[in-house]
Structure 1
Amino acid sequence: MPWLLSSQVELVSSSPSERQCERTAFSFYCAVRERLPVWLLEDMRRMEVFCWEDGRPRAFLPSEALLYALVHDHRDYARYLLNRYSASALRAPRCSFCRRRSSSAQHLNMAVRYDRVSILGTMMETLKDFDTPSERREFLDGCGGGCSHVADAGKTAVLLAVELSRPDCLLLLLVHGARPDGLDAALQTLVSCDAPQRRDAQRCLDLLLLFLPKPLPLRRLQEEPQRWQSLLGNEVFGWLCGLAPPPLLLQALRCLARSGPDQISKLPDFLQPHSWQ
């Protein structure tokens, strides 16, 4: 499966039936990669493509097909799966190696890693179909802790967006209620990234500050105060250290940021979050 770590693809099939399942799965993977029409992909998934599980073949699940659609940015197919199967399309499949079911954050992490902003937006619209607030919370803030074989296991989608400097993905997650963790990682990314990535890393930090309820004490700020004061600006640095209230512009933008992902991005440059520094 393309979402598994490459170093773990070491299982050799011995059964002819199992090898046939692998061939059909690979054919389906290629069909999604070629972005064939949705109706054709669904016919393949339901009638021609099989996975080998517990000693017998089974049809591909919508959630597994969605992972393929994420990898290859097949937006029409992803939209169909999410509209047709709703929250069940976001249910994480079992790991092929340990048979454990990973966190539902697997789909979110995949969308962030491949920077699939459009599909991620459709996934966020599906949140309304979750049965309970706790299920929505688990989906948004899950960290894939159930299985270590999945790429990015142990990381929330927000943390991954911060580490990879994906501001558009991060804004979608935060607007829809994801926990704004990862401030320390955002600071580390900002000082360690290359120059071409610095603008996106700065924007990720700014977005976290917009949604952060209150600053948390960070050791790195205390250890190098002059460095961070020059990088963040006096007002932001003082607020993060608990020495001053948040900047007025930051306070004004908080309500706007929570009203929708488009509200911040449409502001003129002099009112963008970086201007409070």
Structure 2
Amino acid sequence: MPWLLSSQVECLSSSPSQRQCERTAFSLYCAVRERLPVWLLEDMRCMEVFSWEDGHPRAFLPSEALLYALVHDHQDYARYLLDKYSVSALRAPRCSFCCCRGGGAPHLAVAVRYDRMAILSMMVEALKDCDSSSWRQDYLDSYSGCSHAADAGKSAVQLAVELSRPDCLLLLLVHGAYPAGLDAALQRLVSSDMADRRHAQRCLDFLLLFLPKPAAPHCLRDEPQRWQSLLGNEVFSWLCGLAPPPLLLQALRCLARSGPDQISALPNFLQPHSWQ
């Protein structure tokens, strides 16, 4: 539990061996935070640092080290772990809080929450090494496996929408994540202050680029005049199933699927918001 102070660890741990494991785990956390060289971090992880599991110490897993690299944006260490261990570095580690085996895609959630675009890009590229396309799709769309986690029950895409992380959202969608969270995106659009509204608008725009035939959200049916004014007549009519998608949206869909840089490089009058 590297987020605990040493005094707290001693209160929570039941044996000297477990306390020693937690101290060494905290030392690795601090070493990653200080951006120490990759070779030194790997020496620590493989030979000096231990986690406590089922009454016995064990070496730290690459997936656990990757979570530390994400939190502290140690891009060199993240690149090393993903290059050497590929998708195994993305496996959900065992939860140290509830001792469950974990599940979902905690690395994607942490990358989105901390807005670690560089490492998120490395991770989605590493997913291409997976032999199973179904596993890759399940991973991109999975939810947190632990009910106590802050982001439990949310996919990385939903979290990106809720936190208004448009760059993270576009990267995930381009690599095949399902465009969930339309209702949340609409609510963020009206609840955000002026400083965040631009990001919320871009998140909504990117979702619309990747949505299959949408079902009209309840809010559109409940307040049609308000949403028609906010979204524009063409987008509103499409979301309500009354018209085909706008022509510009259809054209940009093909461009968006070719890579996130393609949309960002467009001039302002061709950006997604211009169809409204």
Q: TM-score with structure 2 length normalisation? A: 0.95
Identify the residue that residue 116 of structure 2 maps to in structure 1. Answer: 116
Task: Give the whole-Å Cα distance in 2 for the aligned partners of 1:85 and 1:183.
Answer: 35
Which residue does 1:36 correspond to in 2?
A: 36
Q: Does the alignment pair 1:203 with 2:188?
A: no
Q: Give the C-alpha shift of residue 131 in structure 1.
A: 2.5
Question: What SS does structure 2 have at the residue aligned with 1:52?
Answer: strand
Percent identity for Structure 1 against Structure 2? 79
> Which whole-Å CA distance do the structure 2 matches of 1:124 and 1:2 have between them?
26
1:18-167 to 2 correspondence within 5 Å? 18-144=18-144, 146-167=145-166
Task: Quote the residue 2:172 is aligned against.
Answer: 173
- Give, as a single letter, the amino acid of the residue that structure 2 aligns with 1:75: Q
CA contact (8 A) 1:174 1:180 kept: yes
Q: Which residue identity does 1:216 align to in structure 2?
A: A
What letter corresponds to residue 183 of structure 1 in structure 2?
A: L
| Residue matched to 1:266 | 265
CA RMSD of aligned residues (A): 1.6
Q: Deviation per CA, 1:235-257, whole angstroms, max 9, x where unpaired?
A: 11111111111111001100000
The 3 A distance-change label for structure 1 pair 18 and 3 is closer
Whether the aligned pair in 2 keeps the contact of 1:3 and 1:150 (CA below 8 Å) is no
Q: 1:11: Cα distance to partner?
A: 7.5
Contact 1:95 1:149 (8 Å CA) reproduced: no
Structure 1 unaligned segments of length 5 or more: list them.
none
Contact 1:35/1:74 (<8 A) preserved: yes
SS at match of 2:57: strand
Which range is displaced more, 230-239 or 89-98? 89-98
Contact 2:10 2:19 in 1 (8 A): no
Amino acid at match of 2:236: F
Following TM superposition, by how much is the alpha carbon of 1:150 offset from its aligned partner in structure 2, in angstroms?
A: 2.5
Measure, in 2, the Cα distance between the counterparts of 1:98 and 1:177: 31
Change in 2 beyond 3 A, CA 1:148/1:11: farther
Superposition deviation, residue 97 in structure 1:
3.2
Runs (5+) with no aligned partner, structure 2: none
Residue type of the alignment partner of 1:86: S
Cα separation, 2, equivalents of 1:137 and 1:2: 31
Change (3 A) 1:139 1:3: farther
Alignment partner, residue 219 of structure 1: 218
2:17 equivalent in structure 1: 17
Residue type matched to 2:275 in 1?
Answer: W
Distance in 2 (alpha carbons) for counterparts of 1:17 and 1:102: 24
Number of the residue aligned with 1:185: 184
Show the counterpart of 2:234.
Answer: 235
Instruction: Report the Cα offset of residue 151 of structure 1.
Output: 2.5
SS of the equivalent of 1:57 reads: strand
Query: Which secondary structure state, in structure 2, belongs to the residue aligned with residue 244 of structure 1?
Result: coil
Summarize the Cα distance change of 1:3–1:108 in structure 2 as closer, same or farther, 3 Å threshold. farther
The yes-or-no answer on 1:244 pairing with 2:252 is no
**Alpha-carbon distance in 1 for matches of 2:153, 2:191:** 22
Amino acid at match of 1:107: H
Structure 1 residue matching 2:58: 3-state secondary structure: strand
Shift of 1:75: 0.4
CA contact (8 A) 1:3 1:67 kept: no
What's the offset of the Cα at 1:217?
1.9
Count of aligned pairs: 272
Contact 1:95 1:150 in 2 (8 A): no
8 Å Cα contact 1:171-1:261 kept in structure 2? yes
